[in-house]
Structure 1
Amino acid sequence: MPAEEEPAASTNAPVLGPAPSTVTQEERTQKLLEDLEKIPLFMAHLPDSDEPNLAVEALRSLASDEPPLEVATNLKAEGNDSFKRGKFAEAAQYYTKALDYDHDDKPLKVALLINRAAANLELQNFGMVLRDCADALRIRPNTVKALFRSAKACVALEKFEEARECCKWGLNIEPENKELAAMQAQVEEAVAKHERRAREREERSRQKELAREQLKKAIEIRSGLAFDTSSNKKKRPEGSPVSYPWENDSERQVELDRDTGHLLWPVFFLYPESKESDFVERFDESLTLRDMLAEVLAEPPHWDSRQHPKYTLDAVDTFFLSRPVGGFDEDERLVKVSMDARLGVILNSEKYVIRDGIPSFIVLPRSDPFVSQFIERYRKLRQTREAGTKITSS
């Protein structure tokens, strides 16, 4: 009887054994390093995590069994290493932990304090720098590095007299110290720059106040100008200059052109039909509304029709709302004004009241249904107001 043959292997049968790995050698090496980092004995630094790790705690216990001086010295070395790597906050933490250990090695305490001061200098914690340097100087008054770092912190805080004293003290201890000599020169340079800036600020303030007074006189000469500041309710900070009625809380203020003696007004052109506006920063009072609108409407506004623009210089009329000082919205009257009138003349008229220091004018397309509706609205308001006045007087 013939021997039985082995069955032919099926191409669909599963492959036994491990599948070929697709992980590269570099990835395997990185994974190994990450796994080693989880083993306390191979850790470069103990973790800050609050999660319990018995092996880590055991290492900490071993460390706590060492003499405090040795632990502090080791922590100082860790801090120095972090500092060299640019990890200044981490370095400061190591120095702080080292300072928590009680021992009698004064030079080590001083080194830890001035090292932590160096880290805080990099972190711009200048108050902490001064405290650590002061503590170091209490232990060893001739610690030149503490004086040097104190001087740097004092300059940053603009405590220039203290910075000078630190440099002077340090150079009395080490007259040939080049770093301190350079620091002393930096202090004097910083003092000169600070004083120069203070003079410049004072001069700007003086010029600003002079300009305000000149503007005040120019406005007083134009006795017809009337102002309403009822909507400008923001209180000025205590100690700020007295507010004039033509001033407001924005940067948009009337100015005096010292060369011409003209007032330059901030002006709004309002387009109620489209709920749009244009703002002119400096409208010379000697110019007419036509002069300014020729620039503003030189091109059709983006919200107007390009093919059939309504807002062109020859197709619009200008108005302003007249309201008595302290009056209400229902007291407003719509007043038409000639586009050939000069701004200064309009503002000096008895009907015009400047609100919050910024004049405004309404621009309407002459042949448009909206215009008649807009004008009719104010006509009815006027009739209602006049009727109410008659009833009250009777």
Structure 2
Amino acid sequence: MAGNPAGSEPEKSEQDGDTVANVAVPALPPAMAESKRHTVDEVVQMMNRMPLFMTELDETDGEGGENVELEALKALAYEGTRAEVAQNFREQGNDQAKLKRWLDAREFYDKALAALKSPRKEEEWEEIKDEEVELNKEKEIAEACYTNRALCNLEKKNYRSCNLDCAATLRLNERNVKAWYRSASACLALDKIPEAEDACSRGLEVEPSNKALSRLSEDIAKRKGDIARIERERQEREERKVMKERTLRIALKERGIKTKTTSNKPDLEDAEMQLMDPLDKKSTLSIPVMLMYSVHLQTDLIKSVKEHETLQEHLNYILEEPLPWDEAGEYKPDNVNCYVFAGAGLVKVGKKLSLIKILEDKRIEIEDGLLRIHVIPKSKAAEWIEEVKKRLPPRT
């Protein structure tokens, strides 16, 4: 029997095909043989320029020229009457909307509406048998596209655009329940409650049994109540704030305490002048006090010193232990003097006086809701006072 000797190469076909396991593999068809000269990536790139296999838009032939096949498909999309072209885009938009690809769907609805507004071609009249029927068809498609584009805008939270599309729908058909529902939803999202109520009620007039509109009506009523409650609480807070400020002003005036405000108000966090009962001018007054260790450029903020308390009481616990920066141990409760700047001068205040007694001195003012007291070691008080006098303006 004729055959190849053992160990010899297998026979190849006349087309010189490849061989696998001593079995001849037929050569590729001529139309595909060209692909053998390209890498896998190059083949994928070539296929991507064919409309059937496209995974991304490539409008060139790969060499910078026009992609003829793609342009032909684009042209097909605009074949037919305006209604047919628009209906094609509408259906593509519906397909994308079902997949919740709202941006893509909206783009197709844009194209559908643009097609309906485009000038009618002369040859198109030849295809139209009944002009009234054609116009009604266009109106129906436009209504659907506006309604569905409103949904896309609602889903993307473009509430103004949603309302504009609903308005366009309702100009074509004021009984379109979907348009009333989507308009009411957009208005609710913007807290435009009267507009939302109006749109919802108009939709229910058209279709009283519509469950979605009924639920939306309940949501609108609930949000209306929430907004009313929030506004009521805000007004109550504002009124209470005004009353607190008024009561505090009266309390300060009756106690003879002077205050002033500057443009350099310090950050006191939550510390503030206040009455224990904010609406009772006779209740205990408390004031933030800043202890200023001016010789060492350090400070301590006491957020609340009650009017009957003395400086000594606070110095006792603040200076009980050595301050971290007081290496010489100069700051002791009984080894410091206290001073307050008053107008163009300096006033020494008694540590054992209550705060209200200190503030009865007409020269002393509370500045920006804060009383600043300079705490100076007695051994350095004279030197510090001399330095201060040099900086103070001369008395007239």
Flag whether TM exceeds 0.5 (same fold). yes
- The counterpart of 1:352, out of the listed 364, 379, 391, is 364
Measure the CA separation in 2 of the matches of 1:319 and 1:191: 58
Aligned pair 1:100/2:114, yes or no? yes
- 1:343 maps to 355
Highest RCO, 1 vs 2 (Cα 8 Å, sep ≥ 6): 1
| 3-state DSSP of counterpart to 1:317 | strand
TM-aligned CA deviation for residue 117 of structure 1: 1.7
Q: What is the correspondence of 1:124-203 to structure 2 with a 5 Å cutoff? A: 124-203=157-236
The alpha-carbon distance between structure 1 residues 109 and 274, as it changes in their structure 2 partners (threshold 3 A), is farther
Measure the CA separation in 2 of the matches of 1:83 and 1:45: 20
TM-aligned CA deviation for residue 350 of structure 1: 1.9
- 2:15 maps to none
Alpha-carbon displacement from aligned partner over 1:318-345 (angstroms, at most 9, x marks no partner):
221111xxxxxxx3x2322222222222
Aligned pair 1:228/2:228, yes or no? no
TM-aligned CA deviation for residue 142 of structure 1: 1.4
For 1:97, give the aligned amino acid: K
Q: What is the correspondence of 1:229-248 to structure 2 with a 5 Å cutoff? A: 229=261, 231-232=262-263
Aligned pair 1:334/2:346, yes or no? yes
| 3-state DSSP of counterpart to 1:101 | helix
Measure the CA separation in 2 of the matches of 1:219 and 1:77: 75
Number of aligned residues: 331
TM (norm. structure 1) is: 0.71
Aligned pair 1:283/2:283, yes or no? no
Q: Do the aligned partners of 1:319 and 1:335 also contact (CA within 8 Å) in 2? A: yes
The alpha-carbon distance between structure 1 residues 215 and 38, as it changes in their structure 2 partners (threshold 3 A), is farther
Measure the CA separation in 1 of the matches of 2:320 and 2:92: 72
Alpha-carbon displacement from aligned partner over 1:272-317 (angstroms, at most 9, x marks no partner):
3343333333322221122334455566555x15x75544534433
The alpha-carbon distance between structure 1 residues 30 and 167, as it changes in their structure 2 partners (threshold 3 A), is farther
- 2:373 maps to 361
Measure the CA separation in 1 of the matches of 2:92 and 2:274: 63
Measure the CA separation in 2 of the matches of 1:358 and 1:73: 74
Q: Do the aligned partners of 2:310 and 2:353 also contact (CA within 8 Å) in 1? A: yes
- 1:256 maps to 275
Aligned pair 1:58/2:71, yes or no? yes
The alpha-carbon distance between structure 1 residues 108 and 312, as it changes in their structure 2 partners (threshold 3 A), is farther
For 1:317, give the aligned amino acid: N
The alpha-carbon distance between structure 1 residues 366 and 107, as it changes in their structure 2 partners (threshold 3 A), is farther
Measure the CA separation in 1 of the matches of 2:102 and 2:182: 15
For 1:180, give the aligned amino acid: L
| 3-state DSSP of counterpart to 1:319 | strand
TM-aligned CA deviation for residue 220 of structure 1: 1.8
Measure the CA separation in 1 of the matches of 2:89 and 2:237: 53
| 3-state DSSP of counterpart to 2:291 | strand
Measure the CA separation in 2 of the matches of 1:172 and 1:102: 31
The alpha-carbon distance between structure 1 residues 129 and 293, as it changes in their structure 2 partners (threshold 3 A), is farther
| 3-state DSSP of counterpart to 1:227 | strand
Measure the CA separation in 2 of the matches of 1:351 and 1:220: 15
The alpha-carbon distance between structure 1 residues 283 and 108, as it changes in their structure 2 partners (threshold 3 A), is farther
Measure the CA separation in 2 of the matches of 1:79 and 1:310: 83
The alpha-carbon distance between structure 1 residues 277 and 233, as it changes in their structure 2 partners (threshold 3 A), is closer
Aligned pair 1:319/2:329, yes or no? no
Aligned pair 1:378/2:388, yes or no? yes
Measure the CA separation in 2 of the matches of 1:194 and 1:82: 37
Superposed CA RMSD in Å reads: 3.7
Q: Do the aligned partners of 2:271 and 2:304 also contact (CA within 8 Å) in 1? A: no
Q: Do the aligned partners of 2:330 and 2:377 also contact (CA within 8 Å) in 1? A: yes
Measure the CA separation in 2 of the matches of 1:149 and 1:160: 14
TM (norm. structure 2) is: 0.70
TM-aligned CA deviation for residue 213 of structure 1: 2.0
Measure the CA separation in 2 of the matches of 1:46 and 1:165: 45
Measure the CA separation in 2 of the matches of 1:38 and 1:270: 78
The alpha-carbon distance between structure 1 residues 261 and 176, as it changes in their structure 2 partners (threshold 3 A), is same
Q: What is the correspondence of 1:109-128 to structure 2 with a 5 Å cutoff? A: 109-128=142-161
Measure the CA separation in 2 of the matches of 1:192 and 1:30: 62
The alpha-carbon distance between structure 1 residues 100 and 294, as it changes in their structure 2 partners (threshold 3 A), is farther
For 2:294, give the aligned amino acid: P
Q: Do the aligned partners of 1:63 and 1:71 also contact (CA within 8 Å) in 2? A: no
Aligned pair 1:215/2:248, yes or no? yes
The alpha-carbon distance between structure 1 residues 361 and 186, as it changes in their structure 2 partners (threshold 3 A), is same
| 3-state DSSP of counterpart to 2:67 | helix
- 2:295 maps to 273
- 2:121 maps to none
TM-aligned CA deviation for residue 353 of structure 1: 1.9
For 2:54, give the aligned amino acid: M
Q: Which runs of 5+ in 1 are unaligned?
A: 1-27, 235-246, 324-330, 390-394
Larger radius of gyration: 2
- 1:43 maps to 54
Alpha-carbon displacement from aligned partner over 1:38-66 (angstroms, at most 9, x marks no partner):
65543356479xxx873287257525643
